[in-house]
């Protein structure tokens, strides 16, 4: 669920980790339930206990479809990110130290460069979110007016008002 709380998912990585772990947990649960039923230590038989793993798995899938991990983390972090944007916009040439901005760990921030005019957009701020496990090519953009320009390397997802999720080149 951690990887689903970024503006852009780590889709392939999530599938590569979630599927084997999910199957192992399901097999473990099945073996435990069958063994307890066989030994007679399962009170009341299997009954409705078979339903819980499917209920939990269905809840996780619904949360992922609704993009709930991202929206919860973003909503909690938004006031701190607004303050960070003001700090970057007030002094765009100053390198910001690595710090927690809400529930995201960010290092540095810079003005957004408009590709049509070749000039920096005043009052804007773009910053990357550092991930503990993989590369750091995802982040956020706060743009006071207009829409960001997408390139072959950079893509943006409108979140709300002036906020965009950003995914850039991962330097691979």
Given a contact cutoff of 8 angstroms between Cβ atoms, the answer to whether 67 and 73 are in contact is no
pLDDT beyond 60 at 1: no
Neighbouring C-beta atoms of residue 166, cutoff 10 Å = 21
Residue with more model confidence, 162 or 17: 162
Query: Average of pLDDT values for 9-16?
Result: 67
Given a contact cutoff of 8 angstroms between Cβ atoms, the answer to whether 107 and 91 are in contact is no
* Residues 50-83: tens digit of each pLDDT: 677 778 888 888 888 888 888 999 999 999 999 9
Phi-psi region of 67 (alpha: psi -120 to 50; beta: other; left: phi over 0): left
* Residues 20-46: tens digit of each pLDDT: 887 888 888 888 878 877 777 766 655
Q: Which two tokens stand for residue 85?
A: 């944007």
pLDDT given at position 162: 93
**In the chain, where are the structural domains located?**
3-68, 78-167
Q: Which long-range contacts (CB under 8 A, 24 or more apart) does 10-16 make?
A: 10/134, 13/134
Residue carrying the six token digits 């970024």: 6
Q: Which two tokens stand for residue 40?
A: 């007679």
Query: Average of pLDDT values for 139-145?
Result: 90
């Amino acid at each position: 669920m951690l990887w689903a709380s970024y503006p852009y998912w780590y889709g392939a990585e999530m599938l590569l980790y979630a599927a084997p772990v999910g199957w192992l947990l399901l097999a473990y649960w099945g073996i435990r339930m069958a063994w307890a039923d066989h030994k007679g230590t399962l009170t009341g038989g299997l009954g409705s206990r078979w339903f819980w793993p499917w209920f939990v798995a269905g809840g996780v899938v619904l949360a992922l479809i609704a993009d709930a991990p991202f929206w919860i983390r973003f909503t909690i972090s938004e006031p701190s990110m607004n303050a960070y944007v003001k700090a970057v916009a007030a002094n765009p040439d100053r390198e910001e130290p690595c710090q927690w901005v809400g529930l995201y760990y960010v290092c540095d921030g810079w003005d957004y460069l408009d590709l049509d005019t070749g000039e920096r957009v005043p009052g804007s701020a773009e910053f990357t979110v550092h991930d503990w496990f993989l590369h750091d090519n995802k982040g956020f953009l706060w743009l006071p007016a207009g829409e960001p320009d997408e390139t072959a390397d950079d893509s943006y997802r409108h979140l709300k008002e002036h906020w965009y999720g950003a995914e850039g080149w991962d330097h691979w």
